[in-house]
Structure 1
Amino acid sequence: MDFQTAVRTVLSKYATFNGRASRPEFWWFVLFVFLVNIVTSIVDSVIFGTPLLNSIAALGLLLPQLAVGARRLHDTDRSGWWLLIAFIPLIGWIVLIYFNVQPSQQGDNRFGPQQAA
């Protein structure tokens, strides 16, 4: 899966929390969100002087980020509720990164069939 396909797939499943998301799909979308944040921050600092566009982009991308995060956890046979561990300072993010770099569970699992990478 390439960058464009991953972003298109995640945005087409804007609020779909069921199913599975492959590692490339998840990490390409993380890169996309990072790049959007950089671009909107630059535009905000040059034009507005306040984080107006950055805030709008963050709100617009929040739901797809949560959805692809839950689907990625499903791909490793974990519940999407594991996303809540992010509220534990530092440790929670480390655990989520560890979960998200794990390989996909081969074959079908309780969250659906394996996605093509």
Structure 2
Amino acid sequence: MPASVRSAGRAPAPATPAPTLTSVTTLPAETDAARTDPLAHDAPLPGATVRQAVQRVTRRATVFTGRASRSELWWVVLLNALVWLGAGALTVVAARIGDAIRPSRSSDLGLSPGPVLGVLIVLALLTLYVLVTLVPLFAVSARRLHDANLPAWWLLLAVVPGLGALALLVLLALPSNPAGARFDRASTERAPVEGPAST
């Protein structure tokens, strides 16, 4: 039987995958180090899943050294946005339920206490949530800036009225830069200072 007929029944050889943006912008050693211990390493974890991103942000909630990949930051930002949307919907529901419970009573301002109480409870819970997540969000944002080889001081753009927050979003979306390794804990530790030699 000719070779062309024999090979016609076989499946074609799988094509080699095309390089992705992650494989181009991340050094293989960094990726391997982050994959072997994805929760306790200064190297970013490209392509982090939602669970990995939340675990890394939670376990490194107050760590401002090291780096974080874009996926680590943006998964957490997305989850925060969903919590805020849920809180907004819950505020509307709490106001409607409170209005249905006590529709006849009104204060001097024309507001019934039922909806106000429901909204205040939701706002109190949301304030507690913000207080719990504020420092971890700043920490992962600082590490994300480090991954783009920028100092964390750029986070101060968030307080600039107008375009400051937009400029910060652009900086947080920058791709990884291998030179950002200078912000890792090992590279920021200084050698002990030796005093004058005694004779």
TM-score in terms of structure 2 length: 0.53
- The answer for unaligned runs of 5 or more in structure 1 is none
Of the two, which has the highest radius of gyration?
2
Q: Distance in 1 between matches of 2:166 and 2:130?
A: 22
Q: 2:148 is matched with which residue? A: 76
Count of aligned pairs between the two proteins: 113
Aligned residue identity for 1:28 = W
Identical-pair percentage: 36
Judging changes above 3 Å, is the alpha-carbon distance between structure 1 residues 79 and 110 closer, same or farther for their aligned structure 2 residues? Answer: same
Give 1:44 deviation, angstroms.
4.5
Q: 1:110 is matched with which residue? A: 182
Aligned residue identity for 2:159 = F
Residue 49 of structure 1 aligns to a residue whose secondary structure is helix
Give 1:5 deviation, angstroms.
1.2
Judging changes above 3 Å, is the alpha-carbon distance between structure 1 residues 10 and 96 closer, same or farther for their aligned structure 2 residues? Answer: same
Q: 1:49 is matched with which residue? A: 119
Judging changes above 3 Å, is the alpha-carbon distance between structure 1 residues 71 and 22 closer, same or farther for their aligned structure 2 residues? Answer: same
| Larger RCO, structures 1/2 (Cα 8 Å, 6+ apart) | 1
Deviation readout 1:70-109 (Å, 9 max, x if unpaired): 0000001111111011111122111111111110013662
Judging changes above 3 Å, is the alpha-carbon distance between structure 1 residues 108 and 100 closer, same or farther for their aligned structure 2 residues? Answer: closer
- Aligned ranges for residues 84-95 of structure 1 at < 5 Å? 84-95=156-167
Give 1:32 deviation, angstroms.
1.2
The CA RMSD measured in Å over matched residues stands at: 1.7
- Whether the 8 Å CA contact 2:69–2:176 is kept in 1: the answer is yes
- Whether the 8 Å CA contact 1:17–1:68 is kept in 2: the answer is yes
- The answer for unaligned runs of 5 or more in structure 2 is 1-47, 95-117, 186-199
TM-score in terms of structure 1 length: 0.86
Q: Say which structure is richer in helix.
A: 1
